[in-house]
């Protein structure tokens, strides 16, 4: 068709725009690492510190007809959430400051991505003090990047350190989609905060959090991320104290609240569509999360009940001499089905539930990203309004408006580029999780069916043999 060439050019242009958006954000991260002032909108670098040694279309996957599930599920158990979002509106595009940082940024579109940062979170360790009890996790980092002083690092971090890192990333990149952390508080239904299962679940989530940052084309070069991976405990504590003071943070909060109260008068259409997608996605993924949890709970109850039938048939066989072999075979079949059920439950708990719940948390993060984008635009709108009604110095306002316009444009471009990347990852993750679960279910039913078919065939053959022997 004649439109194929135009479509190809449009796709190439869109890809180039995404690359440029990511490039600007990555440059901002590299400039922050140098400690030099930015040449961007605000002319200063927030959070700069002393370094330490050491899919287009909003209906792509979750169309209403695909996920049109019954929403009258009032009795479902849900996860308790405490995913607080930081309302920060600092944004400062910056330029790279060294040949090394530029080498790290250059990627040819036809060149495959080469992973050069490997992170492992393992060995949780409990610490008991007179004040508190907490868990730390060992983080091993292996890298071939030149900006690291060594090729391997080993540090220990607690959950509060992960929260600090997430906050710094949101502060430095307000309109990028930061991976979510697991909830601070335990999931409903878990009886102990430091239960082994809870600690292991959190360890896996923290491992995924760091590796998603490492795989992000911009966040992976953030200076605070590097310090998190390499600095010893006392160095990290010292670096945390270099951040903005209490009054500065309070000022940021007040400005953010004021911007949210004013609201955005003219949000661009593309961000209206994006916001509608997020709202629909949040509804659907929360419903899927509830249903998945209910399925797992019912599977567990079925498994616990089925486990009792095997021993019951063994005891029964002791009192039925004519049925001893049959009852023992039934007990054996039940035991094999129990093992298959347990394996399927393990697959559900490890492959599907964490993925679905991670995207529940992602939906909350996305709402926070949209709020921060709106705050940046609301700041610009207020200045334009002040100039229109001459509420302030007319000589200074045009310059401020120009800077804010650049700031809004950078924020919008970063969000649009990261949005397409996130949607593609989301589609791939959810598709893979449900495909794996479907294959696991097929294997489970085939295994149980084969078990009982084998039993029935053996019993049928046995009865035929007995019948043939009884014939004269």
- The whole-number pLDDT of residue 462 equals 82
8 A C-beta contact, residue 422 and residue 414: no
Q: Residues 194, 126: contact at Cβ < 8 Å?
A: yes
Contact 433, 355 (CB under 8 A): yes
Nearest to 413 by CA among 173, 244, 156: 173
User: For residue 154, what pLDDT is reported?
Assistant: 95
C-alpha 91/C-alpha 41 separation (Å) is 8
- Per-residue model confidence (pLDDT) at position 391: 56
Residues counted in the chain = 472
Domains of the chain from N-terminus onward: 113-246 (3.30.1520.10), 257-471 (1.20.1270.60)
State how far the Cα of 122 lies from the Cα of 138, in Å rounded to an integer.
5
Centroid of chain to Cα 175: 16
Query: Tens digit of pLDDT per residue, the chain (472 long)?
Result: 444 444 444 444 445 445 545 555 555 555 444 444 444 434 444 444 444 444 444 444 444 444 444 444 444 443 333 433 334 334 444 434 444 444 344 443 444 457 889 999 999 998 888 888 889 999 999 999 999 999 999 999 999 999 999 999 999 999 999 999 998 765 444 445 668 888 998 999 999 999 999 999 999 999 999 999 999 989 998 888 886 654 454 555 545 555 555 566 778 899 999 999 999 999 999 999 999 999 999 999 999 999 999 999 999 988 888 888 899 999 999 999 999 999 999 989 988 999 999 999 999 999 999 999 999 988 887 877 777 666 555 666 677 778 888 888 999 999 999 999 999 999 999 999 999 999 999 999 999 999 999 999 998 888 888 777 766 6
Distance, in Å, from the CA atom of 174 to the CA atom of 181, rounded to the nearest integer, reads 16
Nearest residue to 314 via CA among 330, 302, 300, 299 = 330
- Helical segments of 216-320, H only: 223-230, 233-240, 246-262, 269-306, 309-317
Looking at residue 143, its pLDDT comes to 94
* CA dist., res. 116 & res. 128, Å (int): 36
Which residues have a Cβ under 8 Å from the Cβ of 180 and sit 6 or more positions away? 83, 209, 358, 361, 362, 364, 365
227: left (phi over 0), alpha (psi -120 to 50) or beta: alpha
Confidence at residue 385, expressed as pLDDT on a 0 to 100 scale = 72
């Amino acid at each position: 068709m004649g439109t194929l060439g135009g479509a190809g050019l449009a796709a190439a242009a869109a890809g180039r725009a995404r690359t440029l958006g990511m490039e600007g954000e990555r440059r901002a991260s590299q400039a922050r690492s140098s400690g030099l002032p930015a040449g961007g909108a605000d002319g200063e670098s927030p959070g700069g510190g002393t370094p330490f040694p050491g899919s287009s279309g909003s209906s792509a996957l979750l169309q209403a007809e695909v996920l049109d599930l019954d929403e009258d599920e009032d009795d479902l158990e849900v996860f308790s959430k405490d995913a607080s979002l930081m309302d920060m509106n600092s944004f400062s595009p910056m330029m790279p400051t060294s040949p090394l940082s530029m080498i790290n940024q250059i990627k040819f579109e036809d060149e495959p991505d080469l992973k050069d940062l490997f992170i492992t979170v393992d060995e949780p360790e409990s610490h008991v003090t007179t004040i508190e009890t907490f868990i730390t996790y060992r983080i091993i980092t292996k890298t071939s990047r030149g900006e690291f002083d060594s090729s391997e690092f080993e540090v220990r971090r607690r959950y509060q350190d992960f929260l600090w890192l997430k906050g710094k990333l949101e502060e430095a990149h307000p309109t990028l989609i930061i991976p979510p952390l697991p909830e601070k508080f335990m999931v409903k239904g878990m009886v102990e905060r430091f239960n082994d299962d809870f600690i292991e679940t959190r360890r896996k989530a923290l491992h995924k959090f760091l590796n998603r940052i490492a795989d992000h084309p911009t966040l992976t070069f953030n200076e605070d991320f590097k310090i998190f991976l390499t600095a010893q405990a006392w160095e990290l504590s010292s670096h945390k104290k270099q951040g903005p003071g209490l009054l500065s943070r309070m000022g940021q909060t007040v400005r953010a609240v004021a911007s949210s109260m004013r609201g955005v008068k003219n949000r661009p259409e593309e961000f209206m569509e994006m916001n509608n997608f997020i709202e629909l996605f949040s509804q659907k993924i929360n419903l899927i999360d509830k249903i998945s949890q209910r399925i797992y709970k019912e599977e567990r109850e079925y498994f616990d009940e089925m486990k009792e039938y095997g021993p019951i048939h063994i005891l029964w066989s002791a009192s039925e001499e004519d049925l001893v072999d049959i009852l023992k075979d039934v007990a054996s079949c039940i035991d094999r089905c129990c093992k298959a059920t347990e394996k399927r439950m393990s697959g559900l708990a490890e492959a599907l539930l964490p993925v679905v719940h991670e995207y529940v948390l992602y939906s909350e993060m996305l709402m926070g990203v949209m709020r921060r984008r709106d705050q940046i635009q609301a700041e610009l709108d207020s200045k334009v309004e002040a100039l229109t009604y001459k509420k302030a110095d007319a000589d200074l306002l045009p310059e401020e408006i120009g800077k804010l316009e650049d700031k809004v444009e950078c924020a919008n471009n970063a969000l649009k580029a990261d949005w397409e990347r996130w949607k593609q990852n989301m589609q791939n993750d959810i598709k893979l999780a449900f495909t794996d679960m479907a294959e696991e279910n097929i294997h489970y039913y085939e295994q149980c069916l084969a078990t009982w078919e084998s039993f029935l065939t053996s019993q049928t053959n046995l009865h035929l043999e007995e019948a043939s022997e009884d014939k004269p």
